[in-house]
Amino acid sequence: MRHLDRSAPGEREAGERTWEVVRAAFEERLPSPRRRDWRPFALAAAAAVVLAAAFSPPGNAVFGSLRDAVRGDQNAKPALASLPAPGRLLAESTSGTWIVQNDGSKRLLTGYRDAAWSPHGLYVAAVHGSELRALEPNGRVHWSLGRTGRLANPRWSFDGFRVAYFAGRSLRIVNGDGTGDRLLTRDVRPGPAAWQPNTHTLAYVNRAGDIEITDVDKRNGNAIAQTRAAPRQLDWASELKTLAAIEPHAFEVFSRRGPRIGGLDRGIAQVSAAAVSPDGKRIAFVETRGGRSTLQLTDVLGGPTGAIFSGAGTFANVGWSPDGRWLLLDWSSADQWLFIHSPVKKVLAVSNIRANFGADSTIAGWCCP
Partner 1 sequence: MVAGSRGDERAWIRGAQSGSVPDLEALFKHHWPRAYRAAYLVVHDSGAAEDIAQEAFLAAVRSLDRFDRRRPFGPWLHRIVVNRAIDWSRSRALRRESGDAALAVVAAAAPPERGHEEPLAAALADLSPEHRAVIVMRHLLDYTPGEIAEALGLPRGTVNSRLRRGLDELAEKLDEDLK
Using alpha carbons, select from 257, 298, 290 the residue that is nearest to residue 274.
298
Residue 313 within binding range of partner 1, rule CB under 8 A: no
Say which amino acid occupies 5.
D
Tally: H helices and E strands in the chain:
4, 28
Residue 214 within binding range of partner 1, rule CB under 8 A: no
Other Cβ atoms within 10 Å of 22 Cβ, number: 14
Q: How far is 311 from 323, CA to CA, in rounded Å?
A: 26
Among 75, 95, 199, 288, indicate the residue that binds partner 1 (CB under 8 A). Answer: 199
Q: How far is CA 304 from the centre of its chain?
A: 20
Using alpha carbons, select from 261, 215, 209 the residue that is nearest to residue 231.
209
Size of the site for partner 1 (CB under 8 A): 49
Residue 25 within binding range of partner 1, rule CB under 8 A: yes
- Residues 165 and 132 sit within 8 Å (Cβ to Cβ): yes
- Residues 241 and 196 sit within 8 Å (Cβ to Cβ): yes
Q: How far is 189 from 211, CA to CA, in rounded Å?
A: 10
Among 185, 255, 317, 332, indicate the residue that binds partner 1 (CB under 8 A). Answer: 255
Residue 323 within binding range of partner 1, rule CB under 8 A: no
Among 59, 104, 119, 168, indicate the residue that binds partner 1 (CB under 8 A). Answer: 119
Helix (H, G, I), strand (E, B) or coil at 352: coil
Q: How far is 194 from 202, CA to CA, in rounded Å?
A: 6
Among 32, 34, 38, 58, indicate the residue that binds partner 1 (CB under 8 A). Answer: 34
Residue 281 within binding range of partner 1, rule CB under 8 A: no
**Helix %, strand %, coil % for the chain, to 5?**
15, 40, 40
Q: Which is nearer to partner 1, 59 or 161 (CB)?
A: 161
Residue 4 within binding range of partner 1, rule CB under 8 A: yes
Residue 278 within binding range of partner 1, rule CB under 8 A: no
Residue 14 within binding range of partner 1, rule CB under 8 A: yes
Q: Which is nearer to partner 1, 25 or 43 (CB)?
A: 25
Among 133, 172, 256, 282, indicate the residue that binds partner 1 (CB under 8 A). Answer: 256
Residue 138 within binding range of partner 1, rule CB under 8 A: no
Other Cβ atoms within 10 Å of 321 Cβ, number: 23
Choose the binding region for partner 1 from 93-101, 112-120, 282-290, 311-319 (rule: CB under 8 A).
112-120
Residue 141 within binding range of partner 1, rule CB under 8 A: no
Choose the binding region for partner 1 from 78-86, 254-262, 277-285, 339-347 (rule: CB under 8 A).
254-262
- Residues 70 and 81 sit within 8 Å (Cβ to Cβ): no
Q: Which is nearer to partner 1, 129 or 180 (CB)?
A: 180
Q: In the range 37-96, which residues lie near partner 1 by CB under 8 A?
A: none
In angstroms and rounded to an integer, the radius of gyration of the C-alpha atoms of the chain is: 21
Q: Which is nearer to partner 1, 68 or 217 (CB)?
A: 217
Residues that bind partner 1 (CB under 8 A): 1, 3-11, 14-15, 17-19, 21-23, 25-27, 29-31, 34, 118-120, 122-123, 159-161, 175-177, 179-180, 198-200, 215, 217-218, 241, 255-257, 259
